[in-house]
Amino acid sequence: MAKKILAILLALSFVFAFAACGGNGDDETTTAPVETTEDPFAEVEATDAPTEAATDAPATEIATEAASEEATEVAVSDPTAVAETAAASEEATTEAANAMPEGKEAIVTYYNTAINNAKKNSKSIHSNYMKHAVAGEITGIPSALDSVGQSLIKDNMGEDESKKDVTWTSAEDKNAFFPVEGETYASKLTAADVKDAKIVEKDGKWIIRITTVADPRSEGYSHSNGHAPKAFNAVLPGLIDGYIPGIAKSLFSVGTVATAYPSSTVQVTVDPATGNVTHANYMLYWTLYIPLNGTDVVLPFSTENDYTINW
């Protein structure tokens, strides 16, 4: 759990206490969390993933049969040519295996393999930074304390020093801190969890961007339940709920915490020759709902993590 988020929760506990004694809060709002419109993939190249080429089955079959007949004739007449043909076939097979994946399912499968391998087998993972920001309109704080609550929250945004320029080399540390934190894997995404998957080539590297399907409000998210929690260091409602003092819940009518995760993005750089991820950037959007005296305090945040993976 990020120290800045803990500081926010402790500060809000005091706000809740004052709010409980200070009259009615604002009416419940139905304003949806605001999502960013910026496209980090545009920095690479604003191009779609490669489209699958149309296939001409009859022509392909004819060409395959002709090639097979030619190979048979070569085998009979020229043993040296046979060896060259076999070598060429092996090279073609290798090139096919290293081909850029096409389509959402193939890209997600490739991403899972690459990022899980990075967590398990990389020499080290360097955390470049972690940054928190308010990602929309904060609502539900009683009007008399709104300015105080807003200040407490915004004062605890920005960079988290505990995740700046930190290197993890042991399996224990990588499992503890690299997404998904506390797990031995980095992603269990399926195509159904993904809204969009793109891949482009730049400077001999592959850039992959995965955007998750938005997760609606729920009190029950875990690393195996939801879309974003399967691949991000998602702030889970159970963890947040556990940090709100019990006395605040009982005396000030603080209800059970819930979260939502608007569509979030992870972008990685891969060396196609090795399949190794060398850089990863995670942009998680998450909304915290804290019921207070029958009104939701709605807190939309973003958390950005940036990593360099060393081999």
- What are the tens digits of pLDDT across the range 107-160? 999 999 999 999 999 999 999 999 988 888 888 776 656 666 667 777 777 787
Q: Which residues pair with 279 in a beta bridge?
A: 269, 308
Q: Which of 37, 251, 28 is nearest to 136 (CA)?
A: 37
Note whether 217 and 92 are same-domain residues.
Answer: no
Tell me how far apart the alpha carbons of residues 258 and 304 are, in angstroms, rounded to a whole number: 21
Note whether 81 and 179 are same-domain residues.
Answer: no
Note whether 137 and 271 are same-domain residues.
Answer: yes
3-state SS of 139-156 is: ECCCHHHHHHHHHHHHCC
Lowest mean pLDDT among 47-61, 63-77, 96-110, 114-128: 47-61
Note whether 289 and 164 are same-domain residues.
Answer: yes
Q: Taking a C-beta distance cutoff of 8 angstroms, is the pair 266, 281 a contact?
A: yes
**Does residue 61 surpass a pLDDT of 80?**
no
Q: Taking a C-beta distance cutoff of 8 angstroms, is the pair 307, 125 a contact?
A: yes
Note whether 206 and 237 are same-domain residues.
Answer: yes
Tokens of 139: 């609502």
Note whether 142 and 207 are same-domain residues.
Answer: yes
Domain span at 25: 3-48+104-310
Q: Which residues are within 8 A (CB) of 253 and not within 5 positions of it... i.e. 6 or more apart? A: 20, 292, 293, 294
Note whether 85 and 158 are same-domain residues.
Answer: no
Note whether 207 and 235 are same-domain residues.
Answer: yes
Note whether 266 and 141 are same-domain residues.
Answer: yes
- Domain count for the chain: 2
**Per-residue pLDDT tens over the stretch 179-232:** 999 999 999 999 999 999 999 999 999 999 999 999 999 998 989 899 999 999
Note whether 150 and 245 are same-domain residues.
Answer: yes
Note whether 195 and 280 are same-domain residues.
Answer: yes
CA distances from 91 to 85, 87, 102, 267, 275 (A): 10, 6, 20, 30, 18
Note whether 26 and 156 are same-domain residues.
Answer: yes
Domain end (from 97, 124, 159): 97
Tell me how far apart the alpha carbons of residues 113 and 110 are, in angstroms, rounded to a whole number: 5
